[in-house]
Each structure stands twice: as structure tokens, then as C-alpha cells.
Amino acid sequence: MAAGSEMLKAAFVRILVVGGIVIVTSYVTFGSIAFEPLSLWFEFVVNGVTITLAYAALMSGRVWNVVVAEMLWCAFTLLVVPLPYGHRGNFVMVTSNVIALTLAVYLYILVVNRHIVNVPILRLIVAVLLVGLAHAVVVIFLPLAGVEVWLHPGRVLEWSILYVKNGMAIGIICAIGMELSEYLINLIVAHRERVC
């Protein structure tokens, strides 16, 4: 029971730190428009929360936690948040974003846990590249979502670059949150061991 309690506390710290950094950064950078569901910058917040939930759930080490967390987030996003793509388009965009970002976070954790990349700045770069790549993959699903940008070839490249840049920015912000949350968790564990 104690191990489950510690895992829950660590997940709570991860959600607070990473999610807090995403929300504060979104507000400071974009202002209140970041929280208006029909703005492009709202996707920044939604994708940041998706990454936060995926990270906290994946670090728990249980696949079931990831599935439940991301399915609940998909349902919340589809039912509560009005997105501009229509019913089918919203479903395609939300599910492709959630799947791509969860896979990016999974690969990030795999790289970090296997000590392939030990230096914090390189871990940030890996996160930026993986989340940017996840956004590049999501661009493939834009025509399925009914986004008219695909009718104009010049706009395809513009949207693709914008979406990948947005993903890279989310990646750096979430990676900083991930590093900070792990630092705080390690600090708390070290303090407990010193006290006991």
C-alpha cells in the first residue's frame, strides 16, 4: 500500500509541476487567448495537458493508467471543449494528437530511463524533437479532420511549419517541467531518507 501511495504522490507532483508550467507559460506568452477554445493557442494548452497526463501515467509504470488517463482526457476534450473542426474532425484531431503525443512521451521516457541521454540539456532537445515530430505526424491527419488548409498547397507548408514549431515549443516547456518534477521528487525522497 505504501508503494502505491508514493506512486500516487509522485504522479501528483508531476501533474502539478508540468501542468503548472504549461498553464503559466501559456498565459504569460499568449494571454487569455490561450484559454479560448477556438484559438490556435488553445491547442498549446490542450497538448500540454495531454503531455502532462501521459507523463504522469507513464511514469507510474502501469499501461492501464495511461489508457484510462488519455481516454478520459479525450472524452473531456471532445465533450466539453468546442473545437472548430466539426464532430468527425474533432474526433480525428483529438485522438491523433493524444496518440502521437503519448507515443512521443513514451519514447522520451524510454530514452531517459535507458540512460541513452544523461545530460539534462540533451534530454530537453530530445523532448523538443519528439514532440515536434509528433506534431508533424498529426499534420498528416489534418485532411481527415476536414481542415481546408489542404486545398491551398502554399498553406500546407505554412500550417505544417507552424504546427511543428508549436509542438517544439510545447516540447521544451513540458521537458523543463519534467526535469523539474523529477528533481523535486528526488529532493523529497532524499529528504525523507535523511530524516529517517
DSSP 89: H
How far, in Å, CA of 178 to CA of 58, rounded? 12
State the average pLDDT for the chain. 83
Q: What is the pLDDT of residue 146?
A: 65
Instruction: For the chain, give the percent of residues with pLDDT over 90.
Output: 26
81 sits in the region (left: phi over 0; alpha: psi -120 to 50; else beta) called beta
More confident residue, 50 or 90: 50
Q: What is the pLDDT of residue 84?
A: 64
Instruction: For the chain, give the percent of residues with pLDDT over 70.
Output: 87
Q: What is the pLDDT of residue 12?
A: 87
